[in-house]
Amino acid sequence: MDSAFIIEKSVFIVAIFAVTMIMAMYSTWAERKVAAYLQDRVGPNRAGWGGLLQPLADGMKLFAKEEFFPNTPNRFLFIVGPAIAMSTALMTSAVMPWGDKLEIFGRTVILQATDIDVALLYVFGIISVGVYGIMIGGWASNNKFSLMSSVRAASQMVSYEIAMGLSIIALLMMTGTLSLKEIAAQQAGMNWNVFYQPVGFLIFLICAFAETNRTPFDLAECESELIGGYHTEYSSMKMGFYLFAEYANMFISSAILAVLYFGAYNYPGMQWMVDNVGVNAANILGIVVLFIKICFFIFFYMWIRWTIPRFRYDQLMHLGWKILIPLAIVNIMVTGICILVFK
Amino acid sequence: MSTAIQNISLSGKKKQVSNKEMTFLERMYLVAIVKGLWITIKHFFRKKATIHYPEQVREFSPVYRGRHMLKRDEQGRENCTACGLCALSCPAEAITMKAEERKKGEEHLYREEKYASIYEINMLRCIFCGLCEEACPKDAIYLTLSKELVPAQYDREDFIFGKDKLVMPLEMALKNTQLKNAN
């Protein structure tokens, strides 16, 4: 392992970290702006041009807030909760293929922090750990509403993970690999998986909403029943971490959606660009394209949030267990038959 | 021709509610969700209803009643004679005053022989109904068209406006006289 490799990876990891944080930061701004625009308001517009400094102001406010601890028997877990939520939200970005490759100083730089061949399993594993942040935080708060919220979050995660995994199986049967890099590469041109797996995409999308605790599945923090849910007792930057983790998760799951189903960094005419303009230009455009797709999905998350009201808890469970899981299984069967017949 | 009372719809908007079973497509809700998304995205591009307050000010009604003013006459003397009719007519009991007799040498300050040494309106109580203005026999108190609202304060005492804030400034009275003479 040469030193250039280590430098390359370090720079790349720091860049990914920074980009994830900035995206999460500006998602909070975008959320408020989108919410306002969908409701005929203008949203934050005092801090900086168009309110662009609002996330900084929010962060400063959260840092300056009092560190409140409830009268809880377990102070350690109370601190660990938001830390888990945040770190799991950031860990998934390690295996994302942000682009194909760049050629810098004669070196071929793969635009991925690490290309492990079970990347997809890794992503799902980390996302599943994410619920521990909510569970531990809610439990350590010593508050019945927080506890209710973490119970809800846990059961919601468990039931939607099954449907999500099943919808992915249908995709894996087609791609034949768990490596996100290869899945991305297979979708070159307009060969996007969404055209072959529309039902699987729909199931995955719904489950992604549930996994990130976004409306209409935000039962873990429904204000009208549970005050703030698992972060009721939190203040200052610990609260900020929970909120930040939600937006970081949103960014990551948008990235997964774009990579798995919407062709990742591929765009029509990419091969032509590589041949005629150059590898670097083509791939930088690819990164931009991927970010446009991610931004669209982030917008879609917000658009849904301000359109659809929250489910009742039994409806949520009904949808997860009685509709999505059977549908995903049928989808697997249909995919299997199609592969058998057409290939 | 006679219609059953149940079927009459004077507004023409009567709609029979049915409790029929939803079809499979309706139970999937996907069509309804897409319709909902279409509605919200239309609002995204719609003109915003917000008035950016400090920069833009909402238009006031032509019969708008703004902050009170105790008037002066053409020679700059205070009109008020502290008769107390405004306080009597005030439904919110916002006005208090204390009368004083005009001394020799104060004729250029007060028009009548009696004047209000203290005149206070509690702006937290005032409902801007304008009854004080109607009751006043000396044309002293007026609700102006001033767009200046009562500013926010930290203490309740700060909302009690005395003569320093209510009486028309002397320059304004003299200017009005000049304008009147010029016409």
Strands B114-122 and B95-101: antiparallel
What pLDDT does residue B91 have? Answer: 92
Among candidates B74, B86, B91, B104, which has minimal Cα distance to B141? B86
**Stretch B105-119: mean pLDDT, rounded?**
87
pLDDT digits (tens, 9 = 90+) for B119-172: 999 999 999 898 999 999 988 898 888 777 888 889 988 999 988 888 888 888
pLDDT(A269) > 80: no
Longest dimension (CA), chain A: 66
**Stretch A258-286: mean pLDDT, rounded?**
80
- Kindly state whether B37 is in contact with chain A, defined as any CB-CB distance less than 8 angstroms: yes
Cβ–Cβ gap A37/B50 under 8 Å: no
B79: in domain: yes
What pLDDT does residue A330 have? Answer: 92
What pLDDT does residue B32 have? Answer: 86
**Stretch A269-281: mean pLDDT, rounded?**
77
B44: in domain: no
pLDDT digits (tens, 9 = 90+) for A154-168: 888 888 888 888 888
B51: in domain: no
For residues A304 and A205, give the distance between their C-alpha atoms in angstroms, rounded to a whole number: 11
pLDDT digits (tens, 9 = 90+) for B60-81: 888 888 888 998 888 888 888 8
Which sequence spans correspond to the domains of chain A? 61-342
What pLDDT does residue A67 have? Answer: 83
For A187, phi then psi, to 5°, come to: -95, 25
What pLDDT does residue A239 have? Answer: 86
Cβ–Cβ gap A42/B48 under 8 Å: yes
What pLDDT does residue A1 have? Answer: 60
Cβ–Cβ gap A41/B37 under 8 Å: no
Contact A229, A138 (CB under 8 A): yes
Please report which residue ranges of chain A form alpha helices under DSSP H: 3-38, 54-64, 75-91, 119-140, 144-175, 180-186, 193-196, 198-211, 223-226, 236-261, 270-276, 279-305, 313-317, 325-342
- Kindly state whether B56 is in contact with chain A, defined as any CB-CB distance less than 8 angstroms: no
B22: in domain: no
For residues A262 and A294, give the distance between their C-alpha atoms in angstroms, rounded to a whole number: 10
Beta-strand runs (E) in B82-123: 95-101, 114-122
pLDDT(B34) > 70: yes
| Half-sphere exposure at residue B183, Cβ-oriented, CA atoms within 13 angstroms | 5
**Number of domains forming the structure of chain B:** 1
DSSP A248-263: HHHHHHHHHHHHHHS-
For B69, phi then psi, to 5°, come to: -145, 135
Chosen from B30, B34, B37, B39 to mutate, greatest number of chain A CBs within 10 A: B37
**Stretch B24-36: mean pLDDT, rounded?**
83
What pLDDT does residue A153 have? Answer: 85
Chosen from A33, A34, A40 to mutate, greatest number of chain B CBs within 10 A: A40
pLDDT digits (tens, 9 = 90+) for A76-133: 888 888 888 888 888 888 888 887 777 777 777 777 777 788 888 888 888 888 888 8
ipTM: 0.79
Full domain range(s) for residue B165: 68-182
Q: Quote the minimal CA–CA distance from B35 to chain A in Å.
A: 10
Q: Which residues contact A182 (CB under 8 A, 6 or more apart)?
A: A175
Q: What percent of chain B has pLDDT over 70?
A: 99
At B115, which CATH number?
A: 3.30.70.3270
Among candidates A234, A226, A206, which has minimal Cα distance to A324? A206
This prediction has a pTM of: 0.77
Give the confidence band of A2 by pLDDT, cuts at 50, 70, 90.
Answer: confident
